[in-house]
């Protein structure tokens, strides 16, 4: 207890937080990198929980990182992308399939962090940001941020099944799943549509839940993440970068400081729809 108190009173900011603010990755990723010995401070291997201040030399995998302390933070960048089926949300893929990161604007000294993933056959809203702190607030299970999906299944849920999914939940191999909301959106023939809200992002959790009920998913689309909805004007394979005012609202919602709004250069960047140029194999 005494050691924790002394650490919290030390000057500067926690290393993993500063690295996340610099857009290197999420805070959880940075904690793992520090524990793996990939980060050095002033020439020595860093330790988890240590603090850094202005003037400290921080390196990741031997590459020097410019510190972005609280006082000098700028507004992070946020992109909304309408993911198509048949794209992966990963930079590393042995099969070299179409990758959502290929279409994103190039960055210097930072990288785009995907807020939540969508599997290969799922479409809909993907959020990218240069802020590891923002990504952490939106993705970490303890913040319980809502994800809303539109799902089409082969078959139709019974009233008892719908009640079970919102009240008692259903047990999967990795734990209980319970929908916060579930509504019947109708259908024709063998296919039926539902809207549902979850507060978690386990791998393929929506598909696995319906499959456990004997209802295979034929289409799945994420339409909302937290307070961010997928705008109807963003068609599949297109993206829009949010303006500073829109980003500020998200930061306020998750309880992060807005920082200093950066100047818009190169003719401006807000609300410009871009056709994603995804590599096809």
Residue-wise burial string across 93-132, b where 16 or more C-beta atoms lie within 10 A, e elsewhere: eeeeebbbbebbeeeeebebbbbbbbeeebbbbbbbbbbb
Give the C-alpha separation, 182 to 192, whole Å. Answer: 13
Closest to 157 (Cα-Cα) out of 219, 221, 223, 212: 212
Non-local CB neighbours of 94 within 8 Å, separated by 6+ positions: none
Q: Are residues 237 and 84 in contact, defined by beta-carbon separation less than 8 angstroms? A: yes
Strands 58-60 and 39-41: antiparallel
List 56, 61, 119, 244, catalytic entry? 119
Known active-site residue 119? yes
Sign of the four-CA dihedral 150, 79, 261, 60: positive
Q: How many CB atoms lie within 10 A of CB 173?
A: 6
- The catalytic residue positions are 119
């Amino acid at each position: 207890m005494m050691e924790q108190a002394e650490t919290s009173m030390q000057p500067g900011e926690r290393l993993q937080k500063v690295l996340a603010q610099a857009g290197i990755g999420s805070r959880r990723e940075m904690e793992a990198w520090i524990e793996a010995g990939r980060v050095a401070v002033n020439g020595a291997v860093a330790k988890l929980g240590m603090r850094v201040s202005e003037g400290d030399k921080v390196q990741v995998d031997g590459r020097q990182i410019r510190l972005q302390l609280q006082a000098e933070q700028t507004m992070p960048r946020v992109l909304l992308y309408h993911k198509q089926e048949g794209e992966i949300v990963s930079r590393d893929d042995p099969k070299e399939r179409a990758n959502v990161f290929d279409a994103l604007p190039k960055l210097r000294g930072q990288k785009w962090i995907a807020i939540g993933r969508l599997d290969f056959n799922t479409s809909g809203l993907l959020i990218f940001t240069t802020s590891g702190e923002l990504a952490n607030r939106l993705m970490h299970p303890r913040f319980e941020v809502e994800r809303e999906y539109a799902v089409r299944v082969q078959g139709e849920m019974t009233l008892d099944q719908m009640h079970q999914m919102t009240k008692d939940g259903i047990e999967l191999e990795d734990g209980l799943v319970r929908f916060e909301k579930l509504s019947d959106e109708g259908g024709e023939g063998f296919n039926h549509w539902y809207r549902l809200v979850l507060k978690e992002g386990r791998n393929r959790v929506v598909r696995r839940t319906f499959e456990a009920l004997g209802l295979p998913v034929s289409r799945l689309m994420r339409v909302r993440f937290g307070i961010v909805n997928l705008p109807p004007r963003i068609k599949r394979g297109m993206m829009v970068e949010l303006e500073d005012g829109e980003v500020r609202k998200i930061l306020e919602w998750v309880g992060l400081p807005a920082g200093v709004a950066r100047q818009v250069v190169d003719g401006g960047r807000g609300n410009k729809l871009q056709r994603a140029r995804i590599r096809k194999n």
